[in-house]
């Protein structure tokens, strides 16, 4: 279906996103509600298949009956130009199978979270008397928030229907098939529970419990071999969680959980401390007492044998071989013998009459011209007899290919059929070699439409299938069903080509908030060429995506380049270092000596010597320095010392870019120098 086509005048096809056994799935856009939708369209070759049509309609009916947050919602069901289609909720994510392939083994806690959603959805289906019958990771979708959606109720059957209808066909994937289904029995709700147990096993181990070279070998293992113990390969899984798997996948349905709710309740408590080391689960059927059967008596065995013995015919009765009667031998059936002789005599007389007629005709034939008989499409031997009967002689034989006359048959004669010739003339035959063999070429990489036109002229029947390819251009041939160099007859040959649809287109997610690991997983899933760079960010937490080169919502194909920028958190400011050189002056203390009273009484003659004298003292100054920068607080003492003379000091500062420093100098408790808002 072409992109841009509208269904029902409302749903516009965006691109093809997948194919199933009987339907193709497209990403569409609801033009009225302006939202993406998934559109499942019944394949064209199933349009006239009543069984496929009934199954497709049953899927729509089953899904519309189930309204649940973990079941893909159905919005619309309709038909246009003979095409049946279902419009469903579009899930932007992947299926659980691919999720396991990418993530590997899932932790017990997350596995329980996933299974809780699946069980809740299946429980609703069972309450509505609907059995899914094809539970497998491929039918379980998971979005970016680990929300689960179950899809594909195409082979789900109402219990009321299965109670009166049974099939010998095994439906669903064999890796998740219950023993009773593998034996051809009717599926029940406990068959779904068995499949759920296998899904839980695969979540925890990353692999399915049973695998083999063929579907039959896997099916046999489901009802012949015991379920593998997951703790043997993964002992870190608690016994209580393994018991959930063992009970869900018990061979006998009676030993399994009665309902999905019961299994859900068991899962909810299996990681509780008191249950971690509980005893391994043992099915009740294995614990029942073994009954010893009493051997049959010899008399009973003899009677049974006599009742089942094949009796041969008595030796006296022998089958007589069939013989042809020879002349002179007596036979039990005389009448039959006489009747055979009558036919023989009649045949001899008839041949004699015919021979006489031709002899008479030949002897009395005039010397007029003969006509070349129509020997076309006869084999060579028959043509020779026909020519001789006409009084002619077989001449040269040549061979050539013919698309109309089968091999070894006469194409034409020379002279031509109906031509007048003399009696005894030689007639040449042209014998057919059949249709000329056509040597196939290597058409891989060539444009399909051109090859189709050429081969149809040769008489080939051409079939086409298609798939996405990142290596072969759209419209070119990826592979052919018959090898180059093979010699075939075009009219008898059907040649199939696998044609490229080009790179599959996807819709880019908004990767905002993704971690580097999540981005790498996403790029690996879709084959993107990823480039990761890092940058500072004041708004995006370290380790998360800041920006992406392909914007969310844009289309891309496998192999496209994707660049993302990952945050390394806010950038730390640069530290700036600088210094200031300062001279601290020394201040000598002044000392005053007052004149004593006794001295004053002696007169004024000694006034100069006895007067108060001002003199300097050599006591040191006490210096205290305070610094305010990235490493020091202005309230804390940076340096403290004494000086007896002027002192030159250098103060070193470290500040963050955009901030400032300050200092204060005290001499004997008095501030003599200070500064603030210092920068480099």
Instruction: Give the rounded distance of the alpha carbon of 244 from its chain centre.
Output: 28
Token readout for 496 is 């199939």
DSSP codes joined into one string, 128-180: TTEE-----GGGEEEETT--EEE---TT-EEHHHHTT---SSPPS-GGG--HH
H or E, element range at 579: strand 575-584
Alpha-carbon distance of 350 to 175, in angstroms, equals: 76
| b/e per residue 525-547 (b: at least 16 CB within 10 A) | ebebeeeeeeeebeebeeebbbb
Active-site residue set: 134
Taking every pair of C-alpha atoms in the chain, what is the biggest distance, in angstroms?
Answer: 210
11 and 3 in contact (C-beta within 8 Å)? no
545 and 577 in contact (C-beta within 8 Å)? no
Alpha-carbon distance of 206 to 182, in angstroms, equals: 23
Instruction: Give the rounded distance of the alpha carbon of 293 from its chain centre.
Output: 52
Token readout for 426 is 């030689």
Alpha-carbon distance of 385 to 396, in angstroms, equals: 15
Token readout for 79 is 């038909």
**Rg, the chain, Cα only:** 51
SS (H, E, C) 105-131: CCCHHHHHHHHHHHHHHHHHHHHCCEE
Alpha-carbon distance of 90 to 27, in angstroms, equals: 8
Instruction: Give the rounded distance of the alpha carbon of 377 from its chain centre.
Output: 57
Long-range contacts of 394-398 (CB under 8 A, 24+ apart): 394/426, 394/427, 394/429, 395/426, 395/427, 395/428, 395/429, 396/426, 396/428, 396/429, 397/428, 397/429, 397/430, 397/431, 398/428, 398/429, 398/430, 398/431
Cis omega (within 30 of 0) for bond into 400: no
Q: What are the residues whose beta carbons fall under 8 Å from the beta carbon of 346, sequence distance 6 or more?
A: none
Residue 405, CB-side half-sphere exposure with 13 Å CA sphere: 18
**Residue 201 vs residues 127, 205, 250, 394, 496: alpha-carbon distances, Å:** 25, 6, 13, 81, 41
Instruction: Give the rounded distance of the alpha carbon of 254 from its chain centre.
Output: 34
**Residue 560 vs residues 85, 137, 160, 470, 566: alpha-carbon distances, Å:** 32, 28, 51, 10, 19
Alpha-carbon distance of 195 to 252, in angstroms, equals: 14
Alpha-carbon distance of 128 to 358, in angstroms, equals: 90
Alpha-carbon distance of 162 to 129, in angstroms, equals: 10
Outline where DSSP puts E strands in 329-409.
370-371, 393-400
Neighbours of 175 (CB within 10 A): 22
**Cα torsion angle, 90, 96, 102, 103, sign:** positive
Alpha-carbon distance of 457 to 477, in angstroms, equals: 19
Q: What is the dihedral of CA 115, 116, 118, 124, to 10 degrees?
A: 150
192 and 126 in contact (C-beta within 8 Å)? yes
The answer to the question of whether 5 is labelled as a binding residue is no
Annotated binding site for ATP: 40
Which residues define the annotated binding site? 40
């Amino acid at each position: 279906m072409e992109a841009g086509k509208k269904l029902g005048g409302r749903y516009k096809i965006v691109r093809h996103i997948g194919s199933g056994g009987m339907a193709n799935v497209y990403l569409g856009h609801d033009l009225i509600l302006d939202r993406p939708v998934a559109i499942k369209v019944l394949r064209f070759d199933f349009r006239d298949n009543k069984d496929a049509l009934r199954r497709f309609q049953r899927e729509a009916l089953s899904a519309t009956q189930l309204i649940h947050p973990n079941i893909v919602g159905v919005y619309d069901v309709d038909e246009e130009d003979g095409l049946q289609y279902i419009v469903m909720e579009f899930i932007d994510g992947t299926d659980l199978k691919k999720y396991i392939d990418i993530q590997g083994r899932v932790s017990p806690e997350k596995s329980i979270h996933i299974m809780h959603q699946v069980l809740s959805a299946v429980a609703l289906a069972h309450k509505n008397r609907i059995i899914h019958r094809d539970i497998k990771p491929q039918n379980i979708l998971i979005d970016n928030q680990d929300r689960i959606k179950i899809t594909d109720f195409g082979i789900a059957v109402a219990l009321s229907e299965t109670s009166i209808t049974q099939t010998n066909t095994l439906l669903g994937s064999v890796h998740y098939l219950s023993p009773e289904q593998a034996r051809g029995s009717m599926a029940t709700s406990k068959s779904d529970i068995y499949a759920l147990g296998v899904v839980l096993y695969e979540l925890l181990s990353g692999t399915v419990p049973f695998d083999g070279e063929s579907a039959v070998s896997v099916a046999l293992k489901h009802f012949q071999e015991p379920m593998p113990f997951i703790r043997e390969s993964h002992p870190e899984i608690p016994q209580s969680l393994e018991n959930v798997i063992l009970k869900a996948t018990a061979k006998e349905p009676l030993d399994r959980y009665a309902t999905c709710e019961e299994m859900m309740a068991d899962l909810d408590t299996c990681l509780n401390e008191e249950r971690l080391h509980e005893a391994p689960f043992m099915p009740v059927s294995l614990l029942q007492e073994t009954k010893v059967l009493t051997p049959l008596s010899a008399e009973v065995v003899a009677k049974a044998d006599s009742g089942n013995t094949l009796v041969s015919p008595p030796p006296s009765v022998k089958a007589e071989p069939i013989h042809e009667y020879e002349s002179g031998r007596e036979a039990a059936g005389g009448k039959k013998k006489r009747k055979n002789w009558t036919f023989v005599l009649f045949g001899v007389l008839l041949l004699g009459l015919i021979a006489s007629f031709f002899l008479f005709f030949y002897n009395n034939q005039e010397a007029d011209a003969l006509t070349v008989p129509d020997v076309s499409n006869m084999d060579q031997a028959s043509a020779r007899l026909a020519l001789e009967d006409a009084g002619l002689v077989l001449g040269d034989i040549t061979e050539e290919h013919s698309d109309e006359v089968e091999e070894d048959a006469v194409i034409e004669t020379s002279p031509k059929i109906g031509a007048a010739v003399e009696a005894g003339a030689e007639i040449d035959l042209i014998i057919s070699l059949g249709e000329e063999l056509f040597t196939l070429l290597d058409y891989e990489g060539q444009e399909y439409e051109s090859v189709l036109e050429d081969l149809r002229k040769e008489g080939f029947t051409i079939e086409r299938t298609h798939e996405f390819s990142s290596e072969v251009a759209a419209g070119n041939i990826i592979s052919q069903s018959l090898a180059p160099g093979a010699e075939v007859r075009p009219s008898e040959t059907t040649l199939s080509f696998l044609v490229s649809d080009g790179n599959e287109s996807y819709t880019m997610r908004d990767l905002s908030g993704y971690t580097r690991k999540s981005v790498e997983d996403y790029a690996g899933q879709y084959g993107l060429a990823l480039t990761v760079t890092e940058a500072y960010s004041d708004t995006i937490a370290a380790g998360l995506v800041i920006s992406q080169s392909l914007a969310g919502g844009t289309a891309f194909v496998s192999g496209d380049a994707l660049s993302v920028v990952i945050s390394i958190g806010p950038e730390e400011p640069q530290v700036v270092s600088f210094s200031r050189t300062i001279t601290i002056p020394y201040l000598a203390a002044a000392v005053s000596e007052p004149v004593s009273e006794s001295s004053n009484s002696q007169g004024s003659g000694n006034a100069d010597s006895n007067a108060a004298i001002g003199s300097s003292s050599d006591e040191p100054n006490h210096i205290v320095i305070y610094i305010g920068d990235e490493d020091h607080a202005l309230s804390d003492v940076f340096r403290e010392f004494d000086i007896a003379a002027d002192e030159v000091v250098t103060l070193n500062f470290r500040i963050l870019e955009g901030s400032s420093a300050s200092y204060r100098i005290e001499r004997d408790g008095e501030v003599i120098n200070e500064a603030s808002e210092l920068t480099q």
